[in-house]
Amino acid sequence: MKPVQYIIIGAGQRGTGYATYALEHPELAQVVGVAEPRDYYRSHLETVHSIPSGQVFRDWQDAAKRERFADAVIIATQDTMHVEPALAFLQKGYHVLLEKPMATNEADCRRIAEAARASGSIFAVAHVLRYTSYTQKLKALIESGVIGEVVSIQHLEPVGYWHFAHSFVRGNWRNERESSPILLAKSCHDLDWIRYIMGERCTAISSFGNLKHFRKEAQPAGAADRCLECKIEAQCPYSAQKIYLDQGRRGPLQWPASVVVADPTPERTEDALRTGPYGRCVYACDNDVPDNQVVNMEFENRKTATFTMTAFTEQGNRRTSIFGTRGELYGDGEQIRYVNFLHNQTELVDIPTLDLTGDSPLHTHNGGDYNLMQHFIAAVADNDPSQVLSGLEETFETHLMVFAAERARHEQRVVHL
């Protein structure tokens, strides 16, 4: 069978990761185009994938003006830049894999949803948590009835102290006006996952959250506004020196240093930290997204769920407890513990694992990125949208949950869906 040909729109961390699937499975997939305004990232994909020069673009609009020259596009631009390329490529008849979130507001999500329905194309959103072996095993256990009927779910997103500082204080998702609320940018994954596991529609939602710590008022006495100029930097867990430069002592600089500067070396990284956004003190940035947030959800059939997002954890896996009428499941992305109420027994459940060795950018999220690509490429090859686990309708529904939660947080009320 001819490999599925696809175009990468946005060749940053996520786009480059999705392109890697074609390198690992050239018999199944081929990257035949790229649109990326930054020279290094665009040229890197062009070279690695031997993309014809006529199919390499600085601007996605130039790619969209061409007659259709691939089966699918993967849109991995910044959050605020999803709408127009999604609409344009759907209109051209491409199958589309869109990085989450669909869009940063409800109206634009509706525009994309309407265009996807009208196109008849296969459409998927990159909710990678659905695709992990762990999630599929957890869902299979619930559907088998081993814990009876699910009554409630308790879910934690431990963002990680340094990851939060990197992405949501210094980085691209630090400011709601420039990107999106953190519940959308980071945790739409989680609300979508809760809905997927629950298997019921959310009917009401409330939320509380705020920016507690990463504020000018919390800056320690004597601290400078840039880490490399700070006399007390060594005492700060959020030091840019620790997060970006110390990594080089353990081996080649990779993510997150690769976000600070293209093709990072200690010298280039240090230069970027002296003048760029990632070298700023975490208490002297223009960030405004909450560093802690909780969401309470009511689902059909009197079921409930709670979700917590917090910056103040080690970098680790999401952790979930699922409470049923006949048992309980606890999981952390790698292991599931099952408690049987009838026999008062506890057992560990084996999870099938993928052999994802090496440092491929596709081998992240416990195999979710890899499995997402596997499902999307198969869906396009077979023209079978049922192979997509994160299709349009339910994804659109879970985005509406996020927007309702943000209304609830800002307006201090319960929002009914």
List pLDDT tens digits, range 45-88: 999 999 999 999 999 999 999 999 999 999 999 999 999 999 99
Residue 361 predicted with pLDDT over 60: yes
Residue 250 predicted with pLDDT over 70: no
Task: Kindly state whether residues 85 and 19 are assigned to the same domain.
Answer: yes
Residue 175 predicted with pLDDT over 70: yes
- Measured from the Cβ of residue 180, the count of other Cβ atoms closer than 10 Å reads 23
Q: What is the pLDDT of residue 247?
A: 65
CA distances from 238 to 30, 232, 308, 412 (A): 40, 12, 22, 31
Location of structure tokens 């005492």: 235
pLDDT band at 355, cuts 50/70/90? low
Q: What is the pLDDT of residues 191-209, one digit of tens each?
A: 999 999 999 999 999 999 9
Contact by Cβ (8 Å): 258, 269: no
Decide if 406 is inside a domain.
yes
Decide if 183 is inside a domain.
yes
Phi, psi (degrees; rounded to nearest 5) at 156: -120, 130
CATH number of residue 317's parent domain:
3.30.360.10
H-helix segments, 199-317? 240, 257-260, 266-275
Residue 289 predicted with pLDDT over 80: yes
Task: Kindly state whether residues 304 and 326 are assigned to the same domain.
Answer: yes
Task: Kindly state whether residues 165 and 293 are assigned to the same domain.
Answer: yes
Mean pLDDT of the chain: 94
Decide if 362 is inside a domain.
no
Task: Kindly state whether residues 292 and 166 are assigned to the same domain.
Answer: yes
Decide if 373 is inside a domain.
no
Q: What is the pLDDT of residue 319?
A: 96
The residue with greater pLDDT, 259 or 406, is 406
Task: Kindly state whether residues 209 and 192 are assigned to the same domain.
Answer: yes
Whole-prediction pTM value?
0.93
Last residue of a domain, one of 70, 100, 121: 121
Task: Kindly state whether residues 273 and 335 are assigned to the same domain.
Answer: no
Task: Kindly state whether residues 204 and 248 are assigned to the same domain.
Answer: no
Contact by Cβ (8 Å): 173, 182: yes
Q: What is the pLDDT of residue 255?
A: 79
For the residues 246-266, what does the mean pLDDT come to?
Answer: 75
Q: What is the pLDDT of residues 91-118, one digit of tens each?
A: 999 999 999 999 999 999 999 999 999 9
Residue 262 predicted with pLDDT over 90: no
- Measured from the Cβ of residue 291, the count of other Cβ atoms closer than 10 Å reads 24
Q: What is the pLDDT of residue 253?
A: 67
Strand 95-98 with 123-125, pairing = parallel
Task: Kindly state whether residues 61 and 192 are assigned to the same domain.
Answer: no
Q: Determine the structural domain holding residue 347 and report its residue range.
A: 130-214+287-354+391-416
pLDDT band at 293, cuts 50/70/90? very high
Task: Kindly state whether residues 309 and 180 are assigned to the same domain.
Answer: yes
CA atoms within 13 A on the CB side of 134: 21
Decide if 335 is inside a domain.
yes
Location of structure tokens 């601290």: 223
Task: Kindly state whether residues 270 and 408 are assigned to the same domain.
Answer: no
Residue 249 predicted with pLDDT over 60: no
Task: Kindly state whether residues 235 and 204 are assigned to the same domain.
Answer: no
Task: Kindly state whether residues 334 and 410 are assigned to the same domain.
Answer: yes
Decide if 257 is inside a domain.
yes
205-209, 253-257, 298-302, 358-362: segment of lowest average pLDDT: 358-362
For the residues 23-40, what does the mean pLDDT come to?
Answer: 96
Residue 135 predicted with pLDDT over 90: yes
Number of structural domains (the chain) is: 3
Residue 362 predicted with pLDDT over 70: no
Last residue of a domain, one of 236, 261, 279: 279
Decide if 369 is inside a domain.
no
Determine the Cα–Cα distance for residues 335 and 45; give it in Å rounded to an integer: 36
Query: What percentage of the chain's residues is helix, strand, coil (to nearest 5)?
Result: 40, 20, 35
Q: What residues form DSSP beta bridges with 348?
A: 337
Decide if 383 is inside a domain.
no
